[in-house]
Structure 1
Amino acid sequence: MHPLDRLTAEEITVARAVLDKAGLLGPTVRFPFLGLEEPAKDEVLAHRDGDPVDRRVRAVLLDVATGASSTVVASVTRGEVDWQREIDPATDGQPAILLEEFIAVDEIVKADPGWVAALARRGITVLDLVRPCPLSAGDFGIPGEPGRRMLRVLSFLQHRPEDHCWAHPIDGLVAYVDLTERRVLELVDHEDLAVPEEEGNYDDPAYVGPDRETLKPIEITQPEGASFTVTGDVVEWEGWRLRVGFDPREGLVLHQISLQGRPVCYRASVAEMVVPYADPSPVHFWQNYFDAGEYLLGQQVNSLRNGCDCLGEIRYLDAVLADGDGQPREVPNAICMHEEDFGVLWKHTDLFTEAQQTRRQRRMVISYWATVGNYDYGFYWYLYLDGTFQLECKASGVVFTSVHAEGSPWAEPVAPGLGAPGHQHLFNARLDMTVDGVANTVDEIDLVRLPFGPDNPHGNAFTRQYTRLKSEAEGARDAEPGLGRVWRVASAERTNRLGRPTAYVLHPAGQPALLADPGSSIARRAAFATRHLWVTRYDPQERYPAGDLVNQHPGGAGLPAWTAADRGLDGADVVLWHTFGMTHFPRPEDWPVMPVDACGFTMKPYGFFDRNPTLDVPATVAKHCH
C-alpha cells in the first residue's frame, strides 16, 4: 500500500468504528467530512515499496442536536484516535453543510407560520410544489447570528412535479434558518413580486421542439487500445507518471506528477472555489458560495456515462466517500481517463530541402463532474506530449434566477420577467511544485517596451524583466495581461545544457479577480480570490486557501494569515496558489440551460528539456488518415 492510496470502503468502516469506540459518536453525531489524512511530503517521498504505512483519517464531527463540533485525526492502522480539537463556531467557522440539513430546511420553513403567510399573500397556497433552496449563510456580523449554524433560504415554484423550478423564483422573500434549533430565525419579506410564468423545461420535447436530424455520428475509436496504463491509482502515459486521488472536499487530486522520471508537481488540486453574486438588495446581498469549503465539491461528484460525458477508449475509476453517518458510499465511474487528438503538434515545409513534416498533438485527459445546486462543474486536467499540463474548469447547468426589474444594473433578463444576477466563478488551484526536486525559486516575468535611445535607435526593441519573489509578502501578485506576465518556477539545483535552471512557467488567463469591495465580508472570507497568485513555503497543515472551516467563518483565515509570517521562498519548497475564473453576466443564450463556459491555466516546460521533447513522435500512418 502507498501512503497516498485513496481510502477504501473498508478503511472508512474501520475509521467509523475507531471513533465510535473512542466515545465520539452517538445517535445525533454526523460526519460533515471524512477523508485521508495525507502524510507530510518528506515522509511520502522517503517511502519505498514494502515500507509500513500508517493510514490515518481526518474527520469533522457535528452533533446536529446541540451544534457542538470537533476535528479528529485517527489511525485506521493502529485503531487509535491521535488527537481531537473542539471547534468554536463563532471564531473557527462551522463544519460543511450536510445533505440531511438541505432536506431539513424544507420541513423547517414549511412549518413556519410567517413564511406560509408570506406565500399565501403571493397567491401560493399549495406548498408541495414550492422548493425552498437552502444556501450557505456566510458571515455579515448580523446581531444574534455568530455561533449559530445557519442557512438562508430562497424559494422557487413548480407548476407540476416535473417542471424545473428555476424558471419561477418566489423573489422578495428570504428565510434565515437556525439548523440546530430547527426554526426560522428571521424572515425578510422585502417586497411582493410576480412569479414568472414561462416554463424553462429544457428536457421537454414540447418546449424544445424536435431534435435536429442533420448531425452525422462521430466515432472515436482506438483499435489497438489506449496508450496509457492504470495500475491501482498510478497512471502512466507517454513519459508522464502520476497518482490519482479523490478528496471529499477538493474532488480530483493529482499526486506526484513526473515526466520522464523527473518530478514536476507533488500535488495539484482545486483547493477552493467561490461564487460571489453582485446583487446588493436586502434579499440577495448575502449570496456568496464556497463550493469546496461549504458544500464539498468531491461529495457532489457525478457518475459519468460513456458516450455522453466521455468519448473514446475510456478507463473509469470509482469514488468511495463517507456519507453523513460515516458509512462508505460508492460512486461508480466518478473519474474519467482517456486520450484525445488535439490537432497539429508541430509542422514545417522547408523552403530549401522541400521536406514536409507534420506531427499530431494528443493529450491525456483526467476529469470529473460535480453538481452543486443549480450549477454543474467539470474539472479537466490535461497532459500533453510536449510536457505542457493544463487545468480547464467548465461551468454548465442552470443560472441562478430572480425576478427581473427593468433597468437593473445587477441582473440581465433571460426570459420574460426572469432575470439572472451577475456573478463570478473564482477557482483556486493549489500547485505544490517540485520542479526537479523540492528546492525551487519563483520569478515574475514581464514584457518591457523600450523607448528610443542609444541602445534602441529604431524603436523596435523590447525585452523581458525577471523579478525574483523572495518572500511570501512579495508572493501575492496580480496578473497583468498587458505585460504578458507569467510566473516561472525553477529548480534551485539543476540546470539544462545551456546552463539555465530547469523550469516550468505558469501562464494565467488574466481575467478579473474578486470584484467585491476590499472591505466587504466576501473579500475578508475569500481573501485568496483578491489576487491571482500567492506563493507560500510548504507546510503540510496549509491545505485550503480560505482556511480549514469556511462555512460561516468571519474571514482572515488561510492565505492572508499564513503569508503574514513572510517566510522566505528563494530556493525553498514552494506552493503556488493560483486564482482564476470567469465573470458572468448571463445572456438569453444561457437559458434555460447554459452551454459550457470554461476557464483555466497552463503550465509549460521552460528549459526543462534541452530541445523539443517530441522529435520522436511518429508521423500519423495513412490507415488512420481518412
Structure 2
Amino acid sequence: MTIDTKPRKIIVDVSGSGRIVENKEIPGSGYPALSEEAENATAYLPATYQPFLDSIAARGIAIDDVYCEAASPGWFNVSAEENRILVYLLCYDTKGTANVYMRPLEGVTIAVDATEMKIIRYLDVLKAPMPTSKGTDYRFAAQKGPFLTFSKPGVIEHPSFTLDGHIVKWAGWEFHVRPNLRSQNVISIVKKDGRSVMYQGFVSEVFVPYQSATTDWYWRTYMDAGEYNLGFLSLPLQPLNDCPRGATFMNATFAAGPDGSPYVTDNLICIFERYAGDIAWRHAEDLPVGDIRESRPKMTLVVRTIASNGNYDYIFDWEFQTDGIIRVKVEATGVLEISANAMKYVNEANMTKAEIDKMYGTLISENTIGVFHDHFFSFHLDMDVDGPNNSFVEGKLVKHLIPPEKSLRKSRWGLEKYVAKTEDEARIQINPIEHPAQYYVMNPSKKTRLGNQVSYRLVPSGVAPSLLDPSDYPQIRAGFTKNQVLYVNDMQTDVDTYHQKKM
C-alpha cells in the first residue's frame, strides 16, 4: 500500500477482530506494484488530453479505436521522478484486429503521475506508418486453412495424486501449494519419502529489458513480478486447453485495492499427471541367459500457472519426477511487442551493414520491427535438504595430467568440491566451457549410509549473462542478473515485499 507516495507494509488480523497488527513505512527507495485501480484510471486520461487527440487525428485514427495500457517506466536516477508513482502509457490502434500490439502509436510517450492522476509529460516525436492489421488476428476463427489434424492426446483417467486442502501427495512426494499475488504460487514444505527437500520455492523476478534506446522505448525495462504481480496478471486457466483432462484446479483469493477488498481468481493453478511417451529408465542386453528388455515410463506431476502480462504469456511448470528431481520449466508465448518503422523490406534505404546492425531488431513484416530483448527468470529456492542446516558446494571439474610412466593416458578429469565459506564465494557466474562445475546444497550434519554428505544437486539451465553495462540504470536495478547463482544464509523469505528500485 502507498500513502503520501511512501510505501507501507500493513498487516491486518482477518480472523475476526479486524485489528491492524503492523503498520510501518518500508525504508529505502522503491515503490509497490501497479494496482488495478491505477492501471485502469490512467489508461483513460489520453482520451481527454488535447495534444494526444491531435496526434491521433494526424494519424487518421479515431479515438474510439484507441486502446491504452499502463506500463512501469523503470528507474533512471531522474531526481524529478523520485518519490512519485509514475506510469507510462502505451497506446494502440485496435481497428481491424484483436492483436493490438502489432499496431502501436509509435513515437508517442505519455507520462502520468498515478497519485495525482494527471499527464505530466507528453511527447510525439515520430510519425511512422501504422503496420497493417491484415493477417495479425491470432484468434482461431480468423485463421485460414488448411489446418493440421491433431491426434487425440493421451488421457489419465484416474490421477494417482491426492489434494487435501493445499497439501499434495504423489509418488512419495508431499508438498504445500498456495496462490500468491506476486509470484502466482509458492511451493513449500517439500518432502520426498518423508525427508525434507525444500522449505519454499517461487518465481522471484522476471527482468525484461528491450534494446531500443529511442525516446519512447528506452524505459521499457520491465520487472514483471515486482512491478505488475504475476498472480494479478493470471487469468483463469481453461480446462482441456491450458491444462489436460483430469487436471485438478485451485482458485485464489487475493486482497487488492486500497480498501483491501478480496477478489477470487478461478482456476489460477492446475495440478495434473503428465505422460508424454518419455522414458524414465531403460536398459537392454543380449545375454546367454536370454534377452533383457527393461523400460519404465516417465510419469511426472505438474503444478502449472500461466501469467498473461501484456503481449507475453508465461507458462510456469513445477514438475516432480519419481526419481527425486524437481524440474522448473518456463515457456514464453503470446504475441510480439513491435516497433513501427517506415521500412517495408530489408535495406530499402540502402543501409550499410553497420546501420542494419544498429536497428536493434529484425524486420518481421512491412513497417514492423521485432525489437531485441531479454527475459531473465529468477527463482527463489529456500532449500531444506534433510533439515535447515545447509551449505553451498561448488564441485569443480578439473583436468589432471598423468605422468608418462603411469599410463598411456595423458589426462583425466576429477571433481574437486569446495564448501562456500562466505556469501561472496557462493555468487556464481556459470561458464560451462571454461569453468565446468556442478553445484550442490549439502547438509554438513547428515551422511548417507555409505558416508557421503547428504546433498541435493542444483542444475541451472538456459543461463545467460546480461550484456548491459554495469553502470546502466536498468542493470543496476537488476543487479541479480550478474550472477546465475546467489546463495545467502539469511535470505528474506517474504515473497510479498515491495519492488526495490535499487539493489
Asked if Structure 1 and Structure 2 have the same fold, meaning a TM-score greater than 0.5 normalized by the shorter chain, the answer is: yes
Paired amino acid for 2:364: V
Task: Name whichever of 126-135 and 227-236 sits farther off.
Answer: 126-135
Do residues 201 (structure 1) and 113 (structure 2) align?
no
2:123 corresponding residue in structure 1: 188
Deviation at 1:350, TM superposition (A): 2.6
SS of the aligned residue for 2:465 comes to coil
Structure 2: gaps of 5 or more residues: 347-355
Deviation at 1:274, TM superposition (A): 1.3
Do residues 237 (structure 1) and 184 (structure 2) align?
no
Aligned pairs for 1:316-395 within 5 A: 316-324=249-257, 325-342=259-276, 343-352=278-287, 353=289, 354-395=291-332
Do residues 120 (structure 1) and 57 (structure 2) align?
yes
SS of the aligned residue for 2:265 comes to strand
CA deviations over 1:358-402 (Å, ceiling 9, x no partner): 111210111111111111111100000111111001111111111
2:66 corresponding residue in structure 1: 130
- Shift in CA distance, 295/145, structure 1 to aligned 2, threshold 3 Å: same
Within the candidate set 446, 462, 465, 2:413 is matched to 462
- Shift in CA distance, 163/267, structure 1 to aligned 2, threshold 3 Å: closer
Do residues 82 (structure 1) and 21 (structure 2) align?
yes
Do residues 423 (structure 1) and 373 (structure 2) align?
yes
Paired amino acid for 1:201: D
Asked whether the equivalents of residues 426 and 513 of structure 1 are also in contact (C-alpha less than 8 Å), the reply is no
Query: What is the alpha-carbon distance in structure 2 between the residues aligned to residue 218 and residue 97 of structure 1?
Result: 40
- Shift in CA distance, 121/437, structure 1 to aligned 2, threshold 3 Å: same
Structure 1: gaps of 5 or more residues: 1-60, 557-626
Do residues 530 (structure 1) and 482 (structure 2) align?
yes
Deviation at 1:459, TM superposition (A): 2.3
Query: What is the alpha-carbon distance in structure 2 between the residues aligned to residue 534 and residue 69 of structure 1?
Result: 27
- Shift in CA distance, 360/139, structure 1 to aligned 2, threshold 3 Å: same
Within the candidate set 61, 68, 75, 1:139 is matched to 75
Do residues 249 (structure 1) and 182 (structure 2) align?
yes
Query: What is the alpha-carbon distance in structure 2 between the residues aligned to residue 122 and residue 306 of structure 1?
Result: 42
SS of the aligned residue for 2:37 comes to helix
Within the candidate set 351, 357, 363, 1:413 is matched to 363
Query: What is the alpha-carbon distance in structure 1 between the residues aligned to residue 312 and residue 48 of structure 2?
Result: 28
Deviation at 1:211, TM superposition (A): 5.3
Do residues 443 (structure 1) and 393 (structure 2) align?
yes
Query: What is the alpha-carbon distance in structure 1 between the residues aligned to residue 52 and residue 402 of structure 2?
Result: 71
Do residues 101 (structure 1) and 52 (structure 2) align?
no
SS of the aligned residue for 1:103 comes to helix
Query: What is the alpha-carbon distance in structure 1 between the residues aligned to residue 59 and residue 231 of structure 2?
Result: 38
1:514 corresponding residue in structure 2: 466
Deviation at 1:62, TM superposition (A): 3.1
- Shift in CA distance, 456/439, structure 1 to aligned 2, threshold 3 Å: farther
Paired amino acid for 2:429: D
Aligned pairs for 1:238-317 within 5 A: 238-317=171-250
1:27 corresponding residue in structure 2: none
1:70 corresponding residue in structure 2: 8
Identity across matched positions, percent: 26
**C-alpha RMSD over aligned residues:** 2.1
Asked whether the equivalents of residues 104 and 130 of structure 2 are also in contact (C-alpha less than 8 Å), the reply is yes
1:24 corresponding residue in structure 2: none
Query: What is the alpha-carbon distance in structure 2 between the residues aligned to residue 441 and residue 179 of structure 1?
Result: 45
Asked whether the equivalents of residues 5 and 83 of structure 2 are also in contact (C-alpha less than 8 Å), the reply is no
User: So what's the TM-score if we normalise by structure 1?
Assistant: 0.73
Query: What is the alpha-carbon distance in structure 2 between the residues aligned to residue 504 and residue 518 of structure 1?
Result: 32
Deviation at 1:304, TM superposition (A): 1.4
CA deviations over 1:205-255 (Å, ceiling 9, x no partner): 45x203525333234133xx1111111110000110001111111111111
Within the candidate set 485, 494, 497, 1:548 is matched to 497
Deviation at 1:339, TM superposition (A): 0.7
Query: What is the alpha-carbon distance in structure 2 between the residues aligned to residue 427 and residue 234 of structure 1?
Result: 26
Paired amino acid for 1:75: D
Query: What is the alpha-carbon distance in structure 1 between the residues aligned to residue 319 and residue 72 of structure 2?
Result: 32
CA deviations over 1:320-361 (Å, ceiling 9, x no partner): 112324222222222111111252121222343433221112
Query: What is the alpha-carbon distance in structure 2 between the residues aligned to residue 345 and residue 69 of structure 1?
Result: 49
1:480 corresponding residue in structure 2: 431
CA deviations over 1:552-589 (Å, ceiling 9, x no partner): x4412xxxxxxxxxxxxxxxxxxxxxxxxxxxxxxxxx
Aligned pairs for 1:586-597 within 5 A: none
Aligned pairs for 1:31-70 within 5 A: 61-63=1-3, 67=5, 69-70=7-8
Paired amino acid for 2:321: Y
Query: What is the alpha-carbon distance in structure 1 between the residues aligned to residue 148 and residue 457 of structure 2?
Result: 45
SS of the aligned residue for 2:235 comes to coil
Paired amino acid for 1:515: L
Deviation at 1:425, TM superposition (A): 1.0
Asked whether the equivalents of residues 136 and 151 of structure 1 are also in contact (C-alpha less than 8 Å), the reply is yes
Deviation at 1:177, TM superposition (A): 1.1
SS of the aligned residue for 2:122 comes to strand
Asked whether the equivalents of residues 44 and 68 of structure 2 are also in contact (C-alpha less than 8 Å), the reply is no
Query: What is the alpha-carbon distance in structure 1 between the residues aligned to residue 272 and residue 94 of structure 2?
Result: 39
Asked whether the equivalents of residues 403 and 417 of structure 1 are also in contact (C-alpha less than 8 Å), the reply is yes
Query: What is the alpha-carbon distance in structure 2 between the residues aligned to residue 186 and residue 216 of structure 1?
Result: 54
- Shift in CA distance, 202/383, structure 1 to aligned 2, threshold 3 Å: same
